[in-house]
Structures are given as C-alpha cells and as structure tokens.
Chains A and B, each alone.
Chain A
C-alpha cells in the first residue's frame, strides 16, 4: 500500500532522517520504535506532507507529492495524540469533520454515506452517548476517543498514529490500539504507529522498524526486530532485561 524509498529529512544542517526505505502491505501494522530524537515523529510528518523531504513516498503507486490534500485524506488518516481544542465544538461536530475530504462540490457539498459513517464511528469508539457534549468538558481519554472516531469516520485504508504524549496515557493507548486492531481486520487496511512502549509494540504490531539518530537500524517482522540486541542498540540500554526486572518486582 505505502512504499517509502530513500526518505531523507533535513532540519537545517541537522539530518533528522536519512535514507529510510520501507513498504507497508495490507493487513500489516508497522510499529516504529526508537529513543527520543531518533526521527520517529519526523517520519510521520513526512508522510503527512508537513515537512519537506527528499526521496519518494508512494501510496498505491501514486507519489504523495502529486496528490491533493483531500485525495490523500480519503486514503490515509493521521491520529495525532496531542490535542488542545479552544472552542466549545461538540463531539459530533469534530467527528463529522472527518468526512471533509469526502464532500463533493463547492457550495452544496453532498456526502451520501457521511451520516452513517459518523454514527458508526461514534458507536465504535463508545462516544455515541457523548456526541452532543462540548469538547471543553471531556476528559483526556474522551478527547482521544473523539479524534479516533474522526479517523474512523474519515474511512481511510491506512491509519498513521503519532506517538502518545506521555506514558500516563497507557490506558487510552491500549483502548486505542484495541480499536485499531479490530478495524484492521477488514480487508485492504493497514496501520503505522509510533510507540514508546515496547510491550505494546509486541502485543499489537505485525512488523516493526527501529530508528536510531535518523537511521533505520532494523526493519522486518515484529518478533525479530524487537529482539534484545536490537533494542539495546536503539535505546543504548538493555530494555528487555530492565523490563523483566521491573516485572519481577511487580510479581514479588
């Protein structure tokens, strides 16, 4: 579905990503892991066309640079995990905006499936009962679910999730991942997500990519990539050993 060739991103003189090539097939869920500053978010922003890059990113053989924003949005959805809404929009208003790219025409925009998709998305994320609530009154988890519902309403074939703001979001993260796991079972769908938590990556991903200082140091099947050795290289410490120790403390 998505093929990325020789992706390089420079922030001034600093190289944030250098020569990354991956491809994502239907049914796959690619986990991107690495220490802070490894280039994980830059990778997502490049796909979203919000940073300038060298190399080619193709979706179904079409270069993303040649596609208009609404054409991309009909195929690829992005879920940011940082939200600050300033105005009292309702949950349903935010979710309905997911249909933006599907509206045809200029003044009399029509979207025959819109209402049904919005309803389904609200239902799937458990936000149906809260649909008339103001965004300003929601809890952090509810806000997160609202934007996930927006992504579902957008009805893409590929969902790309940026990394969560902090580890305290673990519960929401799990909820989100479970919903994506359900969503991805339909044919011709795939997901990419940036993760902090290696346990989550192992539990949900099919494939993984490890980044270190802008370079791809491992890529492939989830189990193989997230090996003890690879993680040591990526994080500069024995993540697995440390996690085992922590776990042992919990069980004691």
Chain B
C-alpha cells in the first residue's frame, strides 16, 4: 500500500503536533522584548501546574500579551488553511481561497456594517461584528459561486479569479461609501480592511477555538466527500455523495471560519491559498491527509510570519497581512503559471 493513500499514522500526528508546539513555544519565547529563555519557561511551567508566578513584566508580557497573541495567530492559521483546503477541493480549483474569491472582503463588509450601524450582541465584545462577518462571508460565497456557475459551469480558474477580483472591488467600494457616510467612526472601520492580530486576547482565541472545533469537525468528517468532489461533481453524485448537502455544509463551515478570522484579525490574505497548496505537494491531494496536514502547516506558517513581523524591525511591527500577502502573491503567480501551462 502506498503511504500517500492512508490517513496518517498516530506517529505522524504526534510528530506534527510536537513540531507545532515547539514553534508555538519558540514564538512565545521570542519577541520584540528579550526575555531570558529560563524566565519564559518558568512562567509557562508554573502556569501549567498552577504554581505561583512571580509578578512582573515578564509575566505580563508572556501570559497576557504573547501567549494569547500566538494562540490567536495559530488558530487563525489553522482556520484559514482548513477553509482554503476545503474550498479548493469543493471547487476543484487550486487557487480558491477566501482572499482570491473575495469572501474575506465580504466578511469585512459585514463587520463594517455591524460597526457603522451599531449592531451588537449583548455580553460578547464585537459579537455583532463577528456574526455579521460570518453571515456576509457565507452570502458572498453563495453569491460568487452562483454567479460563477452561471457564467461557466466548469468553474475554470480564470472565471473564479475574475469574479473574485470584481467582487473584492465591489465590496471595497461599498466599504469606502460607508466610511464616507460614517465620519467619526472612520478609524474603527479602517481596521477591518487591514490585517492585524497585534491586540489579540484570550477572548479572541476562545472565539476562534470554538468556531474551529465546530466547523473543523464538519469539514474533517467530510474528507471522503471532498475527495469525491475534488475528482468531479458528477462523479461524486454517481458514487452516492449527497452533493447539495455536502456543498452547503462545506460552504457554511468555510465561511464561518473566514468570518471569525476576519472579525478577529482583519483580512489576512493568501494563507488559505499557500498552505494547502504546499501541503498538497508534500502529502498528495487525498483530503484525509491534506486537511490535517494543512491545519498544522497553517498554524506554523502564520506563527512564523507573525514572529517575523514582531522581531525584524523591533520595536516597530510589520503587520502580519503584509508578510502573508508578500509570500502569498508570489506563490499565487507560481500556481497560476503552472496550472495554465498544464492545460
């Protein structure tokens, strides 16, 4: 049996989990402020075992600034690459992703509408923005795909990318319009158009985790269906996949993941494009391996991108969206070139 066909063995999972945790620790230990490794480990160790921690700057920075941020970054990475991998399978298109399809812009628009019109959910900070971001991510996805199917039933790369670009421009023009009319709240709104996880706290990480557990379960339990859809929608129907239901399930889960990431960190482009693609080159297209491997890959990639943003120009920060877009657009061109050449 070829090793690429089966789900990973537990040893492979353990290895991926360990390296992700190692990177997580590295990202907590390194930062704009130098804290001795021993201090960092003491703080983490004592917290894990519930021992008292000496109060002070190190404790604040590690437990209240770095750890929640690194956790949020990792969870965003997992969510974005999982949704990217699922959409690329569903649409049989290696360039599909929240940012290329315009779903992220749709989610930003939703969040901005919530802020501009003061929609809130009592008790949950930014709950209104989060709910609206998810809703708008889903609506945008449905709109984009309906339109794409009408234009070109085979959902060719060019069609999807073109519609994604147009939809992004459309969403941004609406956003500009709202900014024009909302005067005072302009600044608060501008945030949703740039990606930043700098101020992430434990509530953000918790919101990401809950969404990830729910939507991740939906997507991971559909890996066989995603394999079938990635091979062909008609073929999937013929072998007994309930295509409509699976599509709806994947679309809802993907847009919820994108929505929550946008509401926590703004638009962080291209993660969902780059990671599943690189992972596919390593472990093959079978979603039983691809999905889990992409999740770990996404966490590691985004944590390292964030670390670079924090450390390179210290004390200044490079926004994480800038770093991912730089890497992402290069990979995008590479994939686009190769898929076009293959035709």
Contacts and interface: CB of A to CB of B under 8 A. Distances in A.
Contact of A107 (B5, B221, B241): B221
Nearest to A49: B237
B240 A87 contact: no
Interface string B4-46: 1100000000000000000000000000000000000000000
Given A100-B224, A106-B221, A86 B230 contact: yes
A132 B221 contact: no
Contacts of A93: 5, 227, 286
The B contact surface, by secondary structure, is loop
Contacts of A107: 221
Q: Which of B235, B240, B284, B342 has the most CB of A within 10 A?
A: B240
B285 A88 contact: yes
B228 A100 contact: yes
B231 A97 contact: yes
Given A93-B286, A150-B239, A86 B94 contact: yes
Interface residues of B, number: 28
Interface in A102-123: 103, 106-107, 109
Contact of B230 (A70, A71, A89, A101): A89
Given A73-B239, A92-B5, A132-B2, A97 B224 contact: yes
B227 A69 contact: no
A132 B221 CA distance: 25
A80 interface: yes
B152 interface: no
Nearest to B239: A100
Interface string B270-310: 00000000001000111000000000000000000000000
A137 B237 CA distance: 25
Contacts of A136: 342
A89 B286 contact: yes
Contact of B238 (A48, A85, A94, A96): A48
A100 B287 CA distance: 14
Given A80-B234, A87-B280, A89-B230, A98 B239 contact: yes
Interface string B229-248: 01110110111111100000
A42 to B, nearest CB: 14
A92 B231 CA distance: 13
B240 A74 contact: yes
Contacts of A53: none
Contacts, number: 91
A51 B4 CA distance: 36
B221 A50 contact: no
A144 interface: no
B325 interface: no
B232 A85 contact: yes
Contacts of B232: 80, 83-85
**Which bracket fits the contact residues of A?**
35 or more
A72 interface: yes
A233 interface: no
A5 interface: no
B92 interface: yes
Given A74-B240, A98-B239, A101-B239, A86 B92 contact: yes
A29 interface: no
A92 B235 contact: no
A152 interface: no
Interface string A171-206: 000000000000000000000000000000000000
A100 B240 contact: yes
A68 interface: yes
B89 to A, nearest CB: 8
B93 interface: yes
A90 B4 contact: yes
A147 interface: yes
A154 interface: yes
A33 interface: no
A77 interface: yes
Contacts of B286: 89, 93
Nearest to A151: B238
Nearest to B235: A80
Q: Which of B235, B237, B280 has the most CB of A within 10 A?
A: B235
A96 B92 CA distance: 19
A25 to B, nearest CB: 23
23 contacts: A48-B238, A49-B237, A69-B241, A73-B239, A77-B238, A78-B238, A83-B235, A84-B232, A85-B232, A86-B93, A88-B280, A89-B285, A93-B227, A94-B231, A97-B231, A97-B239, A100-B224, A100-B240, A101-B239, A103-B224, A106-B221, A136-B342, A150-B235
The 6 A-B pairs at the shortest CB distance, nearest first, are namely A73-B240, A101-B240, A87-B285, A70-B240, A78-B238, A100-B239
Given A73-B239, A86-B230, A98-B239, 4 more contacts: A80-B238, A84-B232, A93-B286, A154-B239
Interface of B: 2, 4-5, 92-94, 154, 221, 224, 227-228, 230-232, 234-235, 237-243, 280, 284-286, 342
